Structure 1
Amino acid sequence: MISIYRFIASLALVFSITSLLLSQSRIDGRIVDKTTSEPLAGVNIFFSKTTLGTTSDENGFFALTQVPAGQYELIISMIGYEIEREGMIIVPDEALTVNFRLAPQAILMNEINVTAKKDREWDKNYGIFKRSFLGTGKNGEACKILNEFVLSFSRRGTTFIAKASQPLIINNPELGYKITYILYDFTKQLDEVQYSGDIFFEEIASNSKKQSKLWNKNRQRAYKGSLRHFLHTMASRFELRFEIIDGEMHEKSNWLSILNRRKDPLVKEGFSLLINKKDLFGTSIIIPEQYKALKNDTLVFKGKPDEPLLSFEGRMMVTYVKESPEFTYLLEYDSPSSSQQTSYLLLRADSVYFDRYGRYSEPYMIERQGYLSWEGVGDQLPFDYNIEKK
């Protein structure tokens, strides 16, 4: 059940990185059983896609402190109870109290997926899921699902389906995170994979400065060339190119000189773009000659404050030139050796909101093909990862 506190949070999670340096807020409350009104201990309370979370104490009380101002999706989760999701906007120096009554989850016999017995078919299906979900690059291969026994698999025609009876607990030793992933759906049909869920990141305690330094380096590498990096660059480009006067977009007079001096954020960050405006459906056949250079096209438009809109027709080719594809990717797709990462993007809506720091969370609205689609949960970073310190 989804309840709303102050605001219906149906768009991407948005909060300003600069607010981390400003006033922060506190959220507390109590969680009880909806049927008995007894307090619930050990309930997981977290903001989706972040490292901000806690658990309830023996009396059902919880407190989240030092919460930066912004828009969040609060997740209340405990095994045996229905998940509560609540959208909220936090303002600086605010103290909020929110209480929850969790409804026990009805469990049907055919929904009990936990089993200690594995067979060859399950092992085969688990391998398909793990590679598709976590990714087959260095980060994904290193990840370990600690409670894989909660997974079950089925097929509907040519569609492979995975379900989890409990949140997945994942250890990512390459990026230094323990991940809790509440999987809502997962399907795979041929090479097309779709999944959605709520994710919580916990930083693993480092045992040395060397380990911390390595994790920071790996996180920077995971960020560079990612969809978030690309969208953040597009937002920076929009702010450099346009100014908003009386609610209208106006191109700045020095924009062409910025381009001529090669100070375009896309160039500086290592991205190049081509587009095929006639390919509206993302056909499996890619004809390079049909992709043309963008002629000063406007791809990002004014949305809400700190929430630009991405909009374009056709299929966009996004090439990241500052990093080579992982060798595993070249092997899997029988691709020639390359010093660049090539991806394709299609919008499944007229326009898509994201925030000025590149954070986007509307499932399935941006279809990724190529290198970006190959990366999985093992390559993801929390939304509160500070890109300004990368």
Structure 2
Amino acid sequence: MLFAQSFTISGKIVNKGSGSLIAGASVFLSNSSFGTTSTSEGTFTLNRLRPGQYTLVVTAVGYAEYNTTVMVNTDINDLRIELEQQPIILREVTISGSSRADWNRNYEMFKKDFIGTDANAKQCVVINPKVLDFTYRKSKQTLVASSDEFLVVENKALGYRVKFLLNAFSSDKIEGTISYQGKRLFEELPGNASQKKKWQAKRDEAYYGSAMHFFRSLYQNKLQQEGFEMRRLVRMTDPARPSAGYILKKLDQFNGTIRRDSFQYWYNIYQSPKYVNQKISSMPWFSNEVLREGPEPGLYVLTFPDYLYVIYKNREETEAFKDIYRPLDMPNYEVSVLTLFNNPPYTIFDSNGIVVGESPLMEGAWSKQRLSELLPVDYVPAQPFKSAK
């Protein structure tokens, strides 16, 4: 019933100093397919909005970006959004050969970590890659990226044009973690009826088993019906295992030398799990054991001790994750592990299945999901869930 409801946001965009109307401003709800531009009178309307918490973003040339959090559970009318003018700073263009080579190398790393390497990623085209700025910190093996314009990616596997304001991106090769912050808008690519049918099937494939699918199933108390199972995971970091940075330093030291036995020794350590004494609970957790009411209607709090072990029984895992524990008697289902960081540990998500608080660390199957499989928060699958088990 909640998903069947739809609401509207409307308002006017003006210059904060003069009060003059601003036409042609981009107005959108971040991470969704809801977007428009302001009219010649500075007005805008976003229709058919699904309930949930969103970030409303407004951008216009010559003005500072505006964003605010909105909870959509009723119509929101007559918003007055004031944009502050800011000077336009021209991007510096560097054309030295070494800088171009460094940029190209960093860009290839970025594409793998941000867009992905799966079959969908091969059908993703970056329209304007030069808006990206990179910094690679060799000592920490960390790639940092950002852009002050929309990064536009056409995902021809899912049929979306994704416009991404990438505020921050970081890929830590030592720890094996990727994090990013930004606002994004999804637009439908043009296509014929046959193409749209294929896109819909690929979108459903990306949705089922995803973190979005899990969170929606969790608050609706439909985990079992939707193919999920939660268990408590207990584990501890192996105290005898050197740090990831030290292991990689040793691999670099012996790589390509005649001391192949030393390289193999450190490679075996690198491939070994970082955790010991791992165990999952014998009984599954139910939704009410980890779910709490949120600070306002439409928001939910997920909290649990140790780690959350999420099994998706409708798909088999195709990749071996050395740090993901698997009992010998468990089928090769997809598994994801969630780690919370707040104290006490919790994260907040909305009715669209999107985390709106501090994001948990995701390991396993969900750690593979990149822009190539990204769906707007308002996505609803075309076909109902069908269990393969």
TM interval, shorter chain, is 0.7 to 0.9
Equivalent residue, structure 1, for 2:378: 384
Instruction: Provide the residue aligned with 1:308 in structure 2.
Output: 300
> How do residues 1-390 of structure 1 correspond to structure 2 at under 5 angstroms?
16-20=2-6, 24-32=7-15, 34=16, 38-68=20-50, 70-90=52-72, 92=74, 94=75, 96-106=77-87, 112=91, 119-156=100-137, 157-158=139-140, 159-190=142-173, 191-208=176-193, 210-237=194-221, 265-279=222-236, 285=273, 290-293=278-281, 295=283, 297=285, 298-303=289-294, 304-325=296-317, 329=319, 339-349=332-342, 350-363=345-358, 365-387=359-381, 390=384
How far has the Cα of 1:339 moved from its partner? 4.9
CA contact (8 A) 2:51 2:351 kept: no
Which whole-Å deviations, capped at 9, do the CAs of 1:151-206 have from their partners, x for residues lacking one?
11113441211111211111111111111111111111112111011111111232
1:280/1:367 Cα in 2 relative to 1: closer, same or farther (>3 Å)? farther
- Give the match for residue 262 of structure 1: none
**Partner secondary structure for residue 373 of structure 1:** helix
**Residues of 2 paired with 1:387 and 1:320: CA distance?**
17
Cα distance in 2 for partners of 1:96, 1:114 equals: 43
**Deviation (angstroms), 1:50:** 1.2
Percent identity over paired residues: 26
Q: Describe the SS at the equivalent of 1:290.
A: strand
Label 1:115 to 1:50 Cα distance change in 2 as closer, same or farther (>3 A): farther
Instruction: Give the Å deviation of 1:332.
Output: 12
Aligned-residue offset at 1:354: 1.6
Letter in 2 for 1:102: L
Q: Take 1:388 and 1:224, find their aligned partners in 2: how far apart are those partners?
A: 11
CA distance in 1, matches of 2:336, 2:53: 30
Shift of 1:41: 3.2
> Which AA in structure 1 matches 2:370?
G
Code of the aligned partner of 1:65 = N
Amino acid at match of 2:227: G
Unaligned runs of 5+ in 1: 1-14, 238-264
| Separation of aligned partners in 1, 2:283 and 2:123 | 42
Would the aligned equivalents of 2:311 and 2:334 in 1 still touch at CA under 8 Å?
Answer: yes
Q: Distance in 1 between matches of 2:363 and 2:44?
A: 42
What is the deviation of 1:104?
A: 3.1
Gaps of 5+ in 2: 245-272, 385-389
2:346 maps to a residue whose letter is: S
Aligned equivalents of 1:160, 1:207: Cα separation in 2: 39
Given the superposition, is the C-alpha separation of residues 79 and 123 from structure 1 closer, same or farther in structure 2, using an over 3 Å criterion? farther
The residue type paired with residue 135 of structure 1 is G
Inter-partner Cα distance in structure 2 for 1:70 and 1:318: 24
Q: Distance in 2 between matches of 1:370 and 1:235?
A: 22
Query: Partners in 2 of 1:79 and 1:126 — Cα distance?
Result: 26
Count of matched residue positions in the alignment of Structure 1 and Structure 2: 334
- CA–CA separation in structure 2 for the residues paired with 1:116 and 1:56: 37
